[in-house]
């Protein structure tokens, strides 16, 4: 049975990479550290907590078309404990069930109902799966459930101490909004309104074109790029594919037109990929297929990361290089 809290601890570099190798297929998309660019690959985005016990951010991250954080400010930064929040694709019917027994977590769903206009917890627990998997539902569902997981953790033995120990938080694409909310950059309600708009805009963009995403397992990024190039030779330009998520060594998500994604799946074995996994998302996220979503979101944000490749692998390597000792992944899951 899927439970509300998905919590894993990694205490060494090797086990930390295992964490992401195991988790990546059920996640979806990540973030960056120093830029809010609308186009091109983005560096990793982490949010440093100045006072973890009060969930305050070290520096504010304003939205705009220019880089707003100087990497030099992080030169002497030594993170020790991280909260990681998942992106779209982590949803599963039954998630959030435990929230009913934790007042602070249940309250988040009640607040969400007022903002969204429907009973989110009911969809999370009872589905149907097709409804929960829709972008317009799954994005707010994962955002709320992930923050509810924090409240559930808070009630467990040692949970508050874990929360207080966290000094950096990261999010995989959609999870970036969750990370910002946890860090105190904006309120739960403000974040949910942005996620609601994001989900609606990305759903509309996905509906406008037949597109998809697939994880390619067992190849390095260079081989995956060669696989994409080979697939693109067999389809029209409108169905071209590209690497959208750099998740971890051996796991890269490819986005593009359905025919292009099918070509990747058909050719993967010949490139010696171990397997491919079609992702439970509505379309080709983090590619030009999402351009309509950018224009829709511009009213709320000056720039957004929905057309740029996701650099999660670099995010993890950056944290490990900086000395990260422990990480906790909170969100829907087993």
* Number of helices and strands in the chain (H, E): 12, 10
Catalytic residue, chosen from 173, 255, 308, 327, is: 173
Q: Residue 35 in 3-state DSSP?
A: coil
Question: What is the rounded radius of gyration, in angstroms, for the C-alpha atoms of the chain?
Answer: 19
DSSP, residue by residue, 210-249: -EEEEEEES--HHHHHHHHHHHHTTS-GGG-EEEEEEEET
**Euclidean distance between CA atoms 325 and 318, whole angstroms:** 12
Which residue, among 279, 289, 291, 276, has the nearest Cα to 237 in the 3D structure? 289
Q: Which residue has the tokens 């206009």?
A: 117
Catalytic residue, chosen from 34, 146, 286, 327, is: 286
Q: Is 173 a catalytic residue?
A: yes
**Euclidean distance between CA atoms 215 and 277, whole angstroms:** 5
Q: Is 2 a catalytic residue?
A: no
Q: Which residue has the tokens 């953790």?
A: 153
Q: In sequence order, what are the residues at sequence separation of 6 or more whose Cβ sits closer than 8 angstroms to the Cβ of residue 101?
A: none
- Give strand pairing partners of 82: 168, 327
The residues that are catalytic are 173, 286
């Amino acid at each position: 049975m899927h439970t509300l809290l998905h919590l894993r601890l990694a205490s060494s570099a090797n086990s930390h990479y295992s964490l992401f190798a195991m988790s990546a297929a059920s996640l979806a998309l990540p973030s960056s550290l120093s830029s809010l660019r609308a186009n091109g690959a983005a560096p990793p985005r982490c949010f440093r907590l100045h006072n973890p016990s009060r969930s305050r951010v070290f520096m504010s991250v304003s939205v705009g078309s220019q880089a707003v954080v100087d990497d030099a400010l992080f030169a002497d930064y030594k993170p020790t404990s991280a909260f990681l929040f998942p992106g779209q694709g982590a949803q599963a019917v039954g998630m959030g069930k435990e929230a009913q027994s934790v007042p602070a977590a249940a309250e988040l769903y009640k607040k969400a109902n007022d903002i969204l206009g429907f009973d989110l917890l009911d969809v999370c627990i009872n589905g149907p799966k097709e409804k929960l998997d829709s972008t317009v539902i799954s994005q707010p569902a994962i955002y709320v459930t992930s923050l509810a997981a924090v409240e559930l953790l808070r009630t467990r033995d040692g949970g508050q101490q874990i929360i207080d120990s966290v000094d950096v938080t990261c999010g995989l694409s959609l999870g970036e909004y969750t990370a910002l909310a946890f860090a105190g950059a904006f309120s739960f309600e403000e974040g949910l309104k942005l996620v609601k708009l994001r989900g609606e805009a990305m759903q509309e963009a996905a509906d406008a074109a037949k597109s998809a995403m697939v994880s390619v397992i067992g190849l390095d990024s260079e081989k995956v790029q060669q696989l994409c190039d080979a697939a693109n030779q067999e389809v029209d330009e409108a169905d071209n594919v590209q690497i959208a998520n750099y998740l971890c060594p051996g796991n890269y998500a490819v986005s593009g037109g359905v025919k292009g994604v099918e070509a990747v799946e058909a050719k993967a074995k010949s490139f010696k990929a171990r397997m491919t996994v079609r992702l439970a998302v509505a379309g080709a996220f983090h590619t030009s297929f999402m351009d309509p979503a950018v224009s829709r979101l511009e009213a709320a944000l000056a720039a957004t990361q929905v057309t740029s490749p996701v650099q999660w692998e670099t995010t993890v390597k950056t944290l490990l290089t900086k000395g990260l000792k422990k990480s906790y992944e909170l969100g829907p899951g087993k």
